[in-house]
Amino acid sequence: MNIQQLEYVIAVDTYRHFSRAAEASFVTQPTLSMMIQKLEEELGVKIFDRSQLPVQPTDIGLRIIEQARMAVAQVNQIKEIINEEKGMIKGVFRLGIIPTVSPYLLPKLMHIHSGNKYDIRIVIHELTTDQILLGLSKDTLDGGILATPLKENAIKEYPLYYERFFAYVSPHERALYAKTSLDESDLNATKLWLLDEVHCFRTQILHLCNLKKKRGNQSIFSYEAGSIDTLVHIVDKNEGLTVIPEMAVENLTDVQIKNVRPFKNTTPVREISLITRKDFLRERMIAIIKEEVQLSVPDSLKDTAMKKYVIPL
CA 195: distance to chain centroid?
Answer: 16
Q: What is the pLDDT of residue 219?
A: 44
Query: What is the CA 272 to chain-centroid distance, rounded?
Result: 10
Alpha-helix runs per DSSP H in the chain = 3-15, 18-25, 29-43, 59-85, 102-114, 129-137, 174-177, 184-188, 200-208, 228-237, 246-249, 254-257, 283-296
| Candidate CATH numbers 3.90.180.10, 1.10.260.40, 2.70.180.20, 1.10.10.10; the one for domain 3-82 | 1.10.10.10
Candidate from 193-202, 220-229, 275-284 with smallest mean pLDDT:
220-229
What percent of the chain lies above the pLDDT cut of 90?
A: 58
Mean pLDDT for the chain overall? 87
**What's the pLDDT score for residue 202?**
80
In sequence order, the 6+-apart residues with CB closer than 8 A to the CB of 95 are 122, 123, 124, 125, 141, 142, 143, 144, 145, 289
pLDDT at residue 74 is higher than 90: no
**Of 29-43, 81-95, 233-247, minimum mean pLDDT range:** 81-95
Mean pLDDT of 95-108: 92
Q: Among 256, 60, 89, 292, which residue's Cα sits nearest to residue 177?
A: 256
Instruction: Please check the confidence at residue 7 and state whether its pLDDT lies above 90.
Output: yes
Q: Looking at the predicted structure, is the pLDDT value of residue 189 above 90?
A: no
Reported as type and span, the H/E element at residue 241 is strand 241-245
Residues 73 and 53: their CA atoms lie apart, in Å, by 28
Domain 163-269 = CATH 3.40.50.2300: no
pLDDT in tens, 295-311: 889 999 999 999 999 98
Q: Which of 57-71, 191-205, 266-280 has the lowest mean pLDDT?
A: 191-205
- Residue range 217-243: mean pLDDT, rounded: 77
- Is residue 114 very low, low, confident or very high in pLDDT (cuts 50, 70, 90)? low
pLDDT in tens, 135-187: 998 888 999 999 999 989 999 999 999 999 999 999 999 999 999 999 877 87
> Which pLDDT score, from 0 to 100, does residue 218 have?
45
Per-residue pLDDT tens for 13-51? 999 999 999 998 999 999 999 999 999 999 999 999 999
In angstroms, the CA 143 to CA 124 distance is 10
pLDDT the model gives residue 158: 97
pTM of the model: 0.78
Q: What is the mean pLDDT of residues 101-130?
A: 79
Chain-centre distance for alpha carbon 23? 29
The domain segmentation of the chain, as residue ranges, is: 3-82, 88-149+278-302, 163-269
Is pLDDT of 215 > 50? no
Task: Tell me what percent of the residues of the chain surpass a pLDDT of 70.
Answer: 90
Rounded to whole angstroms, the Cα distance separating 246 from 188 reads 21
Fold of 88-149+278-302: D-Maltodextrin-Binding Protein; domain 2 (3.40.190)
